[in-house]
Amino acid sequence: MITLIWTTKYRYEVLGGDVDYRCRELLREIARSKEMMIHAGSINRDHVHLLISIPPNLSVSKAVQYLKGKSSHKLLSEYQRLRKRYWGQHLWARGYWLASSGNVTDEVWKEYIKNQTPPEPDDDFPVV
């Protein structure tokens, strides 16, 4: 399993409310379609944390490309306020942070992700 973290472009806090819920749905759909398994996750206002398993026939960079690319495309097409903010067609910032769970147990990563809540929790809706 690996832990992935990526941010919105310019760290704008746009992932609240209905965008948050839709982003969760999209990430689940994309992961399921590519046979990835999301074990834990947290979507904050300006970044996403995922503990995810990727099948061996899919590289990490391709998996991230699918997750970020398809979710960005769908969110920008569905929400006018995002299109207005991100007129250049890029919702997510370039790059991502990745760590494998080899040196740290999966439970530690799950606890870390669970504790990544914004100062004012949006809801009690985990990604899994």
> Contact, 91 vs 72, CB < 8 A?
yes
Per-residue pLDDT at 128 = 47
Please report the sign of the dihedral spanned by the C-alpha atoms of residue 40, residue 28, residue 23, residue 122.
negative
**Alpha helices (H) along 8-103:** 18-33, 60-78, 80-85
pLDDT digits (tens, 9 = 90+) for 75-109: 999 999 999 999 878 999 999 999 887 767 778 87
Instruction: Specify the higher pLDDT residue, 122 or 15.
Output: 15
pLDDT digits (tens, 9 = 90+) for 27-40: 999 999 999 999 99
> Contact, 54 vs 96, CB < 8 A?
no
Q: Which domains does the chain have, with CATH numbers?
A: 2-114 (3.30.70.1290)
Answer yes or no: pTM beyond 0.75.
yes
